[in-house]
Structure 1
Amino acid sequence: MSTNDPGHINNLDKNQLDALKGFWLMLIKSIRDSENKIDPMYEIEIFLASGYDNPDMILLRWLRARKWNINGAFQQFIDTIKWRHEWGVKELLAKGETDLCSEEIQTGKSYFMGHDKVGRPINYVSVKDHIKGQFPLESTEKLTVFTMEIGRKLLHSPNESVTVIFDMTGFGLKNMDYPHLKFLIHLLQNYYPESFALGFIINAPWIFNGCWYIIKPWLDPVVESKIHFINNLDDLFQYIDPSMLPKQLNGTQTNFNYIPPTDQDLIMLNTFQNDKQGKIIAEETHRKAAQKYLDITQKWAQGDQIDNLIEERTKVTKELRDAFEQLTPYVNTKTHYHRSGAIHEPIFDITYQRIKENRKQ
Structure 2
Amino acid sequence: MRMMMMNSDNINHSNGNEEQDNLGSNEIEKTKICLMRTFVEAQDPSSKEADDLTLRRFLRARDLDVEKASAMFLKYLKWRRSFVPNGSISPSELKNEIQQNKMFLQGSDKKGRPVGVLLAGRHFQHKGGVDEFKRFIVYIFHKIFARMAPGQEKFLVIGDLEGWGYANCDIRAYLAALSLVQDYFPERLGKLFIVHAPYIFMAAWKIVYPFIDIKTRNKIVFVENKKLKSTLLEEIEESQLPETYGGQLPLIPIQDT
Query: Structure 1's 106 and 141: CA in aligned 2 closer, same or farther, altered over 3 A?
Result: same
In 2, are the aligned partners of 1:109 and 1:126 still within 8 Å (CA)? yes
Question: Corresponding residue for 1:60?
Answer: 56
Alignment pair present for 1:143 and 2:106 = no
Q: Counterparts in 2 of 1:57-96, with a 5 A limit?
A: 57-87=53-83, 89-91=84-86, 93=88, 96=90
Summarize the Cα distance change of 1:219–1:258 in structure 2 as closer, same or farther, 3 Å threshold: closer
- Aligned AA (2:168): N
Q: 1:215 to 1:172 in 2, by over 3 A?
A: same
What SS does the aligned partner of 2:85 have? helix
Letter of the 1:236 partner, please give it.
L
Q: Which residues in structure 2 correspond to 1:266-345 (within 5 Å)? A: 336-337=256-257
Q: CA deviation at 1:246?
A: 2.6
- SS of the equivalent of 2:235 reads coil
Q: Is the 8 A contact 1:242 1:250 kept in 2?
A: yes
The verdict on how the C-alpha distance between 1:153 and 1:16 changes in structure 2, with shifts beyond 3 A counting, is: same
Match of 1:207 in 2: 200
- 1:105 aligned to 65, 87, 98, which one? 98
Contact 2:241–2:248, Cα closer than 8 Å, also in 1 = yes
Report how far residue 27 of structure 1 moved.
2.1
- Picking from 16, 24, 27, the partner of 2:40 is 27
- Of 162, 184, 196, the match for 2:155: 162
The alpha-carbon deviation at position 143 of structure 1 amounts to 1.2
Structure 2 residues not aligned, in runs of 5+: 1-18
- In structure 2, distance between residues paired with 1:190 and 1:24: 19
Larger mean CA deviation between 224-233 and 249-258 belongs to: 249-258
Q: What is the RMSD of the two structures over their aligned residues, measured on CA atoms?
A: 2.4
> Match of 2:119?
126
Counterpart secondary structure, 2:234: coil
What is the distance in 1 between the residues matched to 2:79 and 2:232? 35
Is contact 1:46-1:81 (8 Å) kept? no
Please list every run of 5 or more consecutive structure 1 residues that lacks an aligned counterpart in the other structure.
1-5, 31-37, 260-335, 338-361
> Does the 8 A contact of 1:111 with 1:147 survive in 2?
no
Shift of 1:108: 2.6
Aligned to 2:11: none
- Give 1:218's match in structure 2, choosing from 188, 198, 211: 211
2:246 alignment partner in structure 1: 250
Paired amino acid for 1:99: E
| Aligned counterpart for 1:117 among listed residues 107, 110, 119 | 110
**Paired residue secondary structure (1:90):** coil
Give the match's secondary structure for 1:146.
helix
SS in 2 for 1:181: helix
CA distance in 2, matches of 1:249, 1:75: 41
- Spell out, residue by residue over 1:277-308, the C-alpha distance to the aligned partner (whole angstroms, 9 max, x if none): xxxxxxxxxxxxxxxxxxxxxxxxxxxxxxxx
Give % identity.
26
Distance 1:152 1:164 in 2: 13
Change (3 A) 1:129 1:46: farther
Output one character per residue of 1:254-290: Cα deviation in whole Å (capped at 9) or x when no partner. Answer: 233466xxxxxxxxxxxxxxxxxxxxxxxxxxxxxxx
Match of 1:189 among 182, 187, 193: 182
- Give the total of aligned pairs: 234
Kindly state the Cα deviation for residue 152 of structure 1 after the two structures are TM-superposed.
Answer: 1.6
**2-structure distance, mates of 1:229, 1:134:** 31
Compared CA separation, residues 85 and 46, structure 1 to 2 (3 A): farther
Deviation at 1:135, TM superposition (A): 4.6
Residue 133 of structure 1, CA deviation: 3.0
**1:176 pairs with 2:189:** no
1:159-196 Cα distance to aligned partner (Å, 9 max, x none)? 21111110011111111110011111100111000001
